[in-house]
Chain A
Amino acid sequence: MSGSGYLLEVEDLSVSFGSRDGTVLANDGVSLRLRAGETLGIVGESGSGKSVLCRAILGLAKGKVTARRIAFDGRNIDEMSPAERQKLRGSGIAMVFQSPMSSIDPVWTIGDQLVETVRLHKPISRRQARIEAAALLDRVGIAASVRRLDDYAHQWSGGMLQRAVIALALAGNPRLILADEPTTALDVTIQDQILALLMSLQRETGMAMIIVSHDLSVIAETVDRVAVMYAGRIVEVADVRDLFQAPQHPYTAGLFASIVGGAGQDRMLTPIPGQPPDLQNLPPGCAFAPRCPRVRQDCLRSVPRIDATAALGNACLFPLGEPLVEERQS
């Protein structure tokens, strides 16, 4: 562990893409910090920049990436050699993508892919790597793991494939897993299994985890702290309980008011008025201002931001003081 005490530090990250019609600012001044073993949730709607943020952390983002600092375990990623960066991916940080069907190569056996990945991290023979591959499948709850090494992706269900993707991520014993919508493509009973698996693996290994989701209920059960993104910016970071009990940013509050509260709830939804922002044409001030019920003149002038070194906070000039949502305990 480095002197800063943080496993991951991202300061003032911006990612932009050029398109035919102009520049899209997909991440705009994003800062976040994560301690070893901590679980951070990133919530946001489509286009809010949450997936781009994950890719930028891994150095995989397309487009123009600028940051004051991205550091893993105290070391600035910019200063790493390509070989060090390659090693960081997999053994430092591993990623679990949304669609298991597209993370696994259909023309290789599951076992071949695991063996290749294991051997990328360790100089061992194919035979030994095969034993480790079977052990990895065991850890993610695939029964008869040795026999199933020779299966192809099409022989597995979506839930099993997501287990295989998690096994691939575990191969390098990472200290941080980035899970980008890890259960969005799965049925609810399978989602339940995968979330239980991720939580038990985290307890077992003590690794840190970033779970990206559009679904607040997935975040509620899995993370310590939540970052809410809107239009490429983090608009609120809070401990998960505080966020659910008393959201500070009007966008966060609007999100809560517009979701169906799960089983046992029946109240009228209050949608957020208007449309999601056009990332090529953001207003000069707060990006949420055109949809915000609390908007005032000041909100239109400059972009409110959270202090880059703060663990908690909100990017709103007029945050909500009182709890807006009653606690939804069934």
Chain B
Amino acid sequence: MSESASRPPLLAVNHLTVEFAGRTGLAGFGAKARPAFRAVDDVSFTIGQGETLGLVGESGSGKTTVGRALVNLIRPTEGRITVAGNDLQTMTREEAQALPRAVQMVFQDPYGSLNPRFSIEQTLAEVLSFHKIVPQGEITAEVRRLMAIVGLPASLAGSKARQLSGGQRQRVGLARALAVRPSVLVLDEPVAALDVSIQAQVLNLLRELRSSLGLTMLFIAHELGVVRYVSDRVAVMYRGAIMEIGTSSEVFSTPKHPYTKSLLAAMPRLVPEKRSRPPVLANEVESGAGQGCRFRARCPLAAPVCATEPALMKLTSTHFAACHFAA
């Protein structure tokens, strides 16, 4: 079934499925119902205490939808998500009040995810007082502490979002998520909008916080190198399902799924050598949902057996791949 994490699981996702209702045309103008679109299809994984799981995939793979389901921004169609044994869906009202403290999210766009009228201090103070994290009198001190954790100088406390650079804004987003002392942090493409010199600052900060605060993270990104840099384990998604999951070195050094292999081979190398090779995958993503393995239409290994959808196959105690030819 699901793979065993190296540490006792803090977060467990079981058979998560998310469907979006399909509709074409404008409502009232000949809109017709379309079959629901399954963005996430029976996804299961766990993350251990203090562990970082990287979730990679191309656009449309469902990685962001998984992240949003974890913070209850999207209701799962099926499946269970538990944090330290508590089911996120079947919580009481009081438990739900505590929910934002369980899982917090850092968004991709550091420009769109901050209130432009709020200073850094107001942004953080609001979260602290809403969730009653510290007594009213200690809010200013806590704001300063959070700013220090993410490496923002105290002199910026009165600055508004527009006065900050992209990297500084992303630090505010991180401080806001950390303010409620979450059990799990979901980071959705946290460095994709940043310049490389600033990306490195934020990536190093995440690595530092992981060890100093013992953070448990789901790190969602499309860039494989970035994912490898911060993740203990990595899951590769393709069109709604996990194709391969394992430790970083298993997935990056000994990939077993042909999709993972293609992704790695398609990455441009940092080696100055003019390319003459043909593209790794010649064809485009097919839009229609076929039967069997979802990678079949693009797969170099496709065979008749692939008409049956492969389940995640156990390769080692930590490494799983959903391919008939993985073993």
Contacts and interface: CB of A to CB of B under 8 A. Distances in A.
B221 to A, nearest CB: 11
Interface string A177-192: 0000000000111111
A220 B272 contact: yes
B94 to A, nearest CB: 43
Considering residues B59, B267, B268, which has the most beta carbons from chain A within 10 angstroms of its beta carbon?
Answer: B268
A240 B59 CA distance: 31
Nearest to B264: A263
Nearest to B164: A275
Contacts, number: 151
Nearest to A242: B272
A157 B284 CA distance: 8
Interface stretch (B3-11, B65-73, B119-127, B197-205): B197-205
B272 A272 contact: no
B284 A261 contact: no
Given A188-B222, A220-B269, A259-B270, A276 B198 contact: yes
Interface centre among A160, A220, A265 (most CB of B within 10 A): A220
Interface in B152-170: 165, 167-168
A214 B225 contact: no
A265 B279 contact: no
Interface in B258-288: 262-264, 266-282, 284-285, 287
B195 interface: yes
Interface residues of A, number: 55
A231 interface: no
B229 interface: yes
B237 to A, nearest CB: 12
Interface string A242-268: 011100000000110111111111101
Given A189-B266, A191-B266, A192-B280, A265 B225 contact: yes
Contacts of A243: 272
B253 interface: yes
Given A192-B281, A254-B197, A271-B198, A220 B268 contact: yes
A271 B197 contact: yes
A187 B201 contact: no
A45 interface: yes
Contact of A188 (B201, B229, B263): B263
Interface string A217-251: 11011111000000000000000110111000000
A312 B199 CA distance: 29
Contacts of B196: 45, 214, 216, 255, 258-259
A217 B267 contact: yes
A60 interface: no
Contacts of B167: 275
Contact of A269 (B168, B200, B222, B285): B200
Interface centre among B168, B195, B287 (most CB of A within 10 A): B195
Interface string A288-330: 0000000000000000000000000000000000000001111
B134 interface: no
Interface stretch (A11-19, A71-79, A131-139, A193-201): A193-201
A13 B303 CA distance: 57
A266 B203 CA distance: 13
Given A45-B195, A188-B263, A192-B281, A262 B229 contact: no
A271 B262 contact: no
What 7 A-B pairs are tightest by C-beta distance, nearest first?
A: A260-B225, A258-B200, A271-B200, A192-B266, A187-B58, A45-B195, A272-B197
9 contacts: A157-B285, A192-B266, A214-B196, A217-B267, A220-B271, A262-B267, A264-B252, A269-B200, A270-B200
Interface of B: 58-59, 165, 167-168, 195-201, 203-204, 222-226, 228-229, 252-253, 262-264, 266-282, 284-285, 287
Given A160-B284, A189-B262, 19 more contacts: A45-B195, A157-B285, A157-B287, A159-B284, A187-B59, A217-B267, A220-B268, A220-B270, A222-B274, A259-B270, A260-B229, A262-B225, A262-B267, A262-B268, A263-B252, A269-B203, A271-B204, A276-B197, A330-B271
